[in-house]
Amino acid sequence: MPLYIRAPYPFYKERVMKEIFTLKSRLQWRVASALLRSVGLPVGHGWEKTVAKFPELNKKIEKDLNDACRNHILCGDKSVRAYRLKHREYSSIIAKANMFLDKSSLLTKSYPYSLGEEDLNDVEINAPEFVFVNEDSEVVHLVLASHKAVRVRETMDREILAEALGQRSLALAEKVMSSHEVISVRIEQRHAYDIICIHKERAIAEVRIDIFGNSNPSLKVPEIEEAHRSILNKFNDIEEYYLTNQINLYPAINGLLHLNEDQEDRRARVTRFGYLGPTGICREERKLHGDVRSDPTHLAALDAHKDDSAPVTPYDIEVQFPGSVLVSQPYIALALHGTETLARSEKPDLGEMTVTKCLYETDFRAVTAEVYNRLK
Amino acid sequence: MASQKWEIPRPDQRAGLGVLDCFEEFLRRNEPDHLRNREYSLNQFAQLCGRAEPDDDTLNCARYLVSQGVFEVFYLFLDSHGEFSETYSAREVEDAEQVGSLVDPHTGNELSDFRTRLFPFFALNEPKHT
C-alpha cells in the first residue's frame, strides 16, 4: 500500500509524500536513511517512524528530496550494458527523443516520482516510454519509464498462518509451526525508470536498467535480459543499429582486483572474488566485513598459484567504493558477475555490470569509469 | 621476524573454571599474526579455544575478549533469500535489543524476530593487546 495514503499527515508532510513514496519504493533502507540524514531530516526506527517524526519542512529540504529522486532515477541500483558509438552526432538523437515525449501521458506527468501499484494497473504500458530528455556538457540522459513485475519476499506470521491452515489441515498447521521461518513471495508491479546515458567524451552509451537493489524485491536474469532488449528496441525507433557494438567488460575484472592495492588505506574494497586456478579448481571468496585481498587464505592461494606457469583466471568480482558526495552513505557496490563457464571459455565475454547503493550520478560515473579505464 | 605475543589480563577467578580454561587454551593455541584479517563465526571461535562447538564457556570467553578490545564483534544479516547481505555493528544490535526490533536493511520495515537473522562474527582488533 502506498505510504502516502496510510495516514493523514500534517500538510507540510503531505507536500513531500510523493518524494518519500518514491524513495521508499526505490531505495534500500540503509541507503535511504543515510540520504535523509544528509538533507537534515531526523531518522527513526524504520520508514514509518521516520515519517512520523518529520519536523516542519523548509524549501531547501523539499528541493533536496526532489533532487534525490531525480538523481536516483539516473543512477540507483542498475544493471548496466555499454555500447561503443559509431558517431558522435548526438543532436539528432536528442531531437528525435524529444519528439517521442508524450506530455499528456501519465508516466511523463509523474516523472520524477514513482506511481503506486494501483495507479500502474490503470496505465496501459506495452513498451517503455520516453519521459525525460536531458543534456549537459558531458552526457545525454534519455529517461524511459515502464513497470516491472518484481518478487517481494516477506516473512509471514507463523501463528496467524497456522491458525488459518488448521481449519483445513492440522498436519500442515503443525508443519508451519515447526518451521524456522515462513516466507511469502508476492509479485508486485513497480514503476521502473531505465536510462540511456550517452557519454560524449568516451563515445559510449550505457543502458541502465532498474533492478531495485535486486535483493528484496528481486528480478530474475531473463527478466533483466528482457528489460535490456525492450530498451534497445525502443531506441531503434530513434536510431536503428546505433546500439549494436556492445563492450566486453571482462578484461576489467583483473584490473579491478588490483585497485588501490598499493595503498595502505584502501578506499575501495574487494568484497567478492571468483577465479579459476591453474589446476582447474574454482574458488569463490567473499568478505562483507573487510577486503578479500587482505585475507591470509586469499594471499596463500594466490601465492601458491604464482609458482605455477599458468595464471589464475578471474570471472567474478564485487568492489565497494565509498560515496564521494555523501560520506555517511553505505558503500557503493560495483559487481561484474561471471560464471565458471565464462572463465573456461576461450574468449570470455561479459556484457553486464551492476551498480547498487549509489545515490548520485557523479559517483555512478566515477565508479563505471574504473571499469572503462581498465578495459585495455 | 619474531611472532607477537598476547598481552591480555587473565579473567577474574569468578568467571568460572570453564571460561579460564577456554582463555588459557586460546592463548596457548593461537598467535596474533595468525588471526589477523580473518573473520571467525561462533563455531570457528570455539575451535580457537579447543572446543568442538560453542558452549556457555566459549561464549563468555568471547565476551571477555571483546570487552578487553582483543576482538571486534559484528553481525551478518541473513536476508529472505538466505544470503548474508549486510553487516551490523555491535552497537546497532544493542540498539535493536533495546527497542525490541531491527529495521530490515532493504525494506525499512521493523523485524521483531531479528535474533534468528543475525549471526555474530569476530575479527581481531589491531594491535594493542599484543
Residue of chain B minimizing CA distance to A180: B116
Interface residues of chain B, partner chain A, Cβ below 8 Å: 34, 36-39, 74, 76, 79-81, 83-87, 99, 101, 103-111, 113, 116, 121, 123
Per-residue pLDDT of chain A (376 residues; tens, 9 = 90+): 444 444 445 555 667 888 999 999 999 999 999 889 888 889 999 999 998 888 777 888 889 999 999 999 999 899 999 999 988 888 999 999 999 999 899 999 999 999 988 888 888 877 899 999 999 999 999 999 999 988 888 778 788 888 888 777 888 888 888 887 788 888 888 999 999 999 999 999 999 999 987 666 788 889 999 999 999 999 988 888 888 899 999 999 999 998 887 776 667 899 999 998 877 888 888 887 888 888 877 777 766 666 555 578 889 999 999 877 666 666 899 999 999 899 899 899 999 999 999 999 999 999 999 999 999 7
Residue A307 grid coordinates: 609458482
The interface residues of chain A toward chain B in range 291-350, judged by CB-CB distance below 8 A, are 294-297
Contact yes or no for A2/A14 (Cβ under 8 A): no
Burial (CB count <10 Å: 0-12, 13-18, 19+), residue A290: middle
Three-state secondary-structure class, residue A269 = strand
Please tell me the predicted confidence (pLDDT) of residue A137.
Answer: 92
Cβ-Cβ contacts under 8 Å, A180 against chain B: 116
Query: Across the interface, do A181 and B101 touch by the CB < 8 Å criterion?
Result: no
The one-letter amino acid at A344? R
Three-state secondary-structure class, residue A71 = helix
Question: In A179-220, where does DSSP find H-type helix?
Answer: none
Cβ-Cβ contacts under 8 Å, B101 against chain A: 45-46
Residue of chain B minimizing CA distance to A286: B84
Cβ-Cβ contacts under 8 Å, A48 against chain B: 109-110
Query: Across the interface, do A181 and B113 touch by the CB < 8 Å criterion?
Result: yes
A30 interfaces chain B, CB cutoff of 8 Å: yes
Please tell me the predicted confidence (pLDDT) of residue A6.
Answer: 46
Interface confidence, given as ipTM, is 0.83
Torsion of CA A268, A272, A275, A281, to 10 degrees: 150
Measured between CB atoms, which of B36, B80, B111 is closest to A153?
B80
Contacts of residue B35, defined as CB under 8 A and 6 or more positions apart, other chains included, come to: B48, B124
Residue B65 grid coordinates: 575478549
Query: Across the interface, do B99 and A29 touch by the CB < 8 Å criterion?
Result: no
Three-state secondary-structure class, residue A147 = strand
Residue of chain B minimizing CA distance to A47: B108
Per-residue pLDDT of chain B (130 residues; tens, 9 = 90+): 445 678 888 888 887 898 899 999 999 998 888 888 888 999 999 999 999 999 999 999 999 999 999 999 999 998 887 888 889 999 999 999 999 999 999 889 898 888 888 999 999 887 655 5
Distance CA(A192)–CA(A167), nearest Å, equals 41
Query: Across the interface, do B105 and A30 touch by the CB < 8 Å criterion?
Result: yes
Count Cβ atoms below 10 Å from residue B53 Cβ, excluding itself. Answer: 9
B contact test, residue of A155, A292, A328 with most B CBs within 10 A: A155
If phi > 0 it is left, if psi is from -120 to 50 it is alpha, else beta; for residue B6 that is: beta
Query: Across the interface, do A155 and B105 touch by the CB < 8 Å criterion?
Result: no
Tens-digit pLDDT profile for residues A168-178 = 788 888 888 88
A218 interfaces chain B, CB cutoff of 8 Å: yes
Measured between CB atoms, which of B76, B81, B103 is closest to A45?
B103
Query: Across the interface, do B108 and A296 touch by the CB < 8 Å criterion?
Result: no
Residue of chain B minimizing CA distance to A213: B106
Please tell me the predicted confidence (pLDDT) of residue A38.
Answer: 85
Return the sign of the alpha-carbon dihedral for residues A294, A269, A264, B71: negative
Please tell me the predicted confidence (pLDDT) of residue B85.
Answer: 83
Please tell me the predicted confidence (pLDDT) of residue A307.
Answer: 56
Residue of chain A minimizing CA distance to B117: A181
Measured between CB atoms, which of B39, B87, B106 is closest to A213?
B106
Question: In chain A, where does DSSP find H-type helix?
Answer: 11-14, 17-26, 29-38, 47-52, 59-75, 91-100, 106-110, 117-122, 158-166, 170-178, 221-236, 252-257, 296-306, 340-344, 361-372
The one-letter amino acid at A47? W
Query: Across the interface, do A215 and B39 touch by the CB < 8 Å criterion?
Result: no
Please tell me the predicted confidence (pLDDT) of residue A111.
Answer: 93
A87 interfaces chain B, CB cutoff of 8 Å: no
B contact test, residue of A1, A3, A30 with most B CBs within 10 A: A30
